[in-house]
């Protein structure tokens, strides 16, 4: 189905993102999987190309594009190659950027945003803790005011880019007795005494991404590094989750599309009983179902993208897009694994890796159950 959400400028931009991926990322593919993180040289090249600061005003070194579709193009192209490439970059450009742009103090913006755009300052966001991620209001990390700074104690887990981030946005309780109404966000810089990280976590998929535990032991943060209003951190996070969930949806669909396209080619070439396996009616119908599922998911996601560009995407629709596309992606890639037969179960095949990579998308960014909770609540239940 022809997509109408993008214009000529976005397609031109897409060509430059593809060129960057082919030149900079693909040759390092295996190394990145082994090292379990994106090398700084890739970040810096992405920065030189202007990809990291699309939403950042020119005065801080960004491209000032003011149109989330450019971010969506980057996400689509990265996810087509490997889901984790999108996860790594989108945490920085789609998830962390709005906090820094909209909520950080001017002093902090001047300090962080130029490096954010060049790739010299990589960001991560720490909401989830060992004791829980879905129930954000119950987080246990604390921040206590002491003179002109805050002292943070606690820990975070499953943090994407956590092991090598130069700046982590940390959610902490500033008024523990007030639950969701007592959370504040802070920017914690690498190298701050008391801020340490665990080893990279051993995930079943997305090995390219560095996912780590973070520890805060009397970490002293200047008051100017408070992000947003005191005790309003929960609201700030909720207000920014629709963009994060849209970004997930965009990547879910693009990732599934990349794998499905490869699979369609494969079933045309692979033969059994003297004919291409794609010619068997069962397989033809399976491919037809997968293509349809993908196009339906794409249409809703594009509609959400257009709504977001128009400033109209709400939490409920973003939640629908997030859960639906992560489920659809898992179903589509599982179908592709079946069509690849035994090869579909071999790690050296992209389809097998994609199958493992996709699973987490039903868990993170607000699990699919939490998405349904939000949607159900909007129906008055």
Ligand X SMILES: Cc1cc2nc3c(=O)[nH]c(=O)nc-3n(C[C@H](O)[C@H](O)[C@H](O)COP(=O)(O)OP(=O)(O)OC[C@H]3O[C@@H](n4cnc5c(N)ncnc54)[C@H](O)[C@@H]3O)c2cc1C
Could you list the residues that contact ligand X (CB under 6 A)? Answer: 91, 124-128, 132-134, 158-160, 203, 211, 360, 363-365, 367, 369-370, 373
Q: Where do runs of H (alpha helix) occur along 341-367?
A: 350-359
- Please pick, among 77, 244, 289, 348, the residue that the annotation labels catalytic: 244
What does the alpha-carbon distance between residue 224 and residue 107 come to, in Å, rounded to a whole number? Answer: 7
127 versus 339: smaller Cβ distance to ligand X: 127
60 versus 324: smaller Cβ distance to ligand X: 324
3-state helix, strand, coil in the chain (%, to 5): 60, 15, 25
Q: Which residue is nearest to ligand X (CB)?
A: 133
Closest distance of CB 375 from ligand X, Å: 12
129: which strand partners?
Answer: 132
169 versus 352: smaller Cβ distance to ligand X: 169
Size of the chain in residues: 381
Closest distance of CB 364 from ligand X, Å: 4
Tokens standing for 176? 């523990």
183 versus 365: smaller Cβ distance to ligand X: 365
Closest distance of CB 317 from ligand X, Å: 20
Closest distance of CB 182 from ligand X, Å: 18
170 versus 254: smaller Cβ distance to ligand X: 170
- Asked if residue 249 lies in contact with residue 325, where contact means CB atoms within 8 angstroms, the answer is yes
Distances (CA, A) of 253 to 15, 141, 313: 19, 35, 18
Question: How many other β-carbons are positioned within 10 Å of the β-carbon of residue 238?
Answer: 13
- Asked if residue 266 lies in contact with residue 141, where contact means CB atoms within 8 angstroms, the answer is no
What does the alpha-carbon distance between residue 62 and residue 83 come to, in Å, rounded to a whole number? Answer: 25
244 annotated active-site: yes
Active site residues: 244
């Amino acid at each position: 189905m022809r997509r109408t959400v993008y214009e000529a400028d976005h397609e031109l931009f897409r060509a430059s993102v593809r060129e960057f991926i082919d030149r900079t990322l693909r040759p390092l593919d295996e190394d990145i999987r082994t090292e379990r993180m994106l090398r700084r040289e890739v970040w810096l090249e992405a920065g030189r190309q202007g990809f990291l600061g699309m939403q950042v005003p020119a005065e801080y070194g960004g491209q000032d594009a003011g149109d989330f579709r450019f971010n969506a193009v980057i996400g689509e192209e990265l996810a087509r190659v490997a889901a984790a490439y999108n996860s790594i970059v989108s945490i920085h450009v789609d998830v962390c950027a709005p906090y820094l742009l909209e909520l950080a103090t001017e002093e902090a913006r001047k300090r962080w945003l130029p490096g954010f755009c060049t790739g010299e300052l990589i960001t991560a966001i720490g909401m989830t803790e060992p004791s829980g991620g879905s129930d954000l209001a119950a987080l246990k990390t604390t921040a206590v005011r002491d003179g002109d700074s805050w002292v943070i104690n606690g820990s975070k887990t499953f943090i994407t880019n956590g092991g090598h981030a130069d700046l982590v946005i940390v959610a902490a309780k500033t008024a523990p007795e007030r639950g969701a109404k007592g959370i504040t966000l802070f920017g914690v810089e690498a190298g701050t005494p008391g801020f340490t990280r665990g080893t990279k976590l051993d995930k079943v998929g997305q090995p390219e991404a560095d996912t780590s535990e973070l520890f805060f032991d009397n970490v002293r943060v200047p008051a100017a590094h408070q992000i947003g209003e005191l005790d309003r951190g929960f609201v700030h996070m909720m207000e920014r989750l629709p963009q994060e969930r849209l970004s997930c949806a965009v990547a879910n669909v693009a990732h599934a599309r990349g794998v499905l396209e490869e699979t369609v080619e494969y079933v045309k070439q692979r033969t059994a009983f003297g004919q291409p396996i794609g010619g068997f009616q069962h397989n033809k119908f399976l491919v037809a179902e997968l293509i349809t599922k993908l196009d339906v998911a794409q249409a809703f996601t594009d509609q959400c993208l257009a709504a977001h560009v128009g400033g109209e995407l709400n939490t409920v629709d973003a939640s629908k897009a997030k859960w639906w596309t992560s489920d659809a992606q898992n179903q589509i890639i599982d179908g592709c694994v079946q069509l690849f037969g035994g090869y579909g179960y071999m790690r050296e095949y992209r389809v097998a890796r994609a199958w493992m990579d996709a699973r987490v998308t039903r868990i993170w960014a607000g699990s699919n159950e939490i998405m349904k909770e939000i949607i159900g609540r909007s129906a008055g239940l």
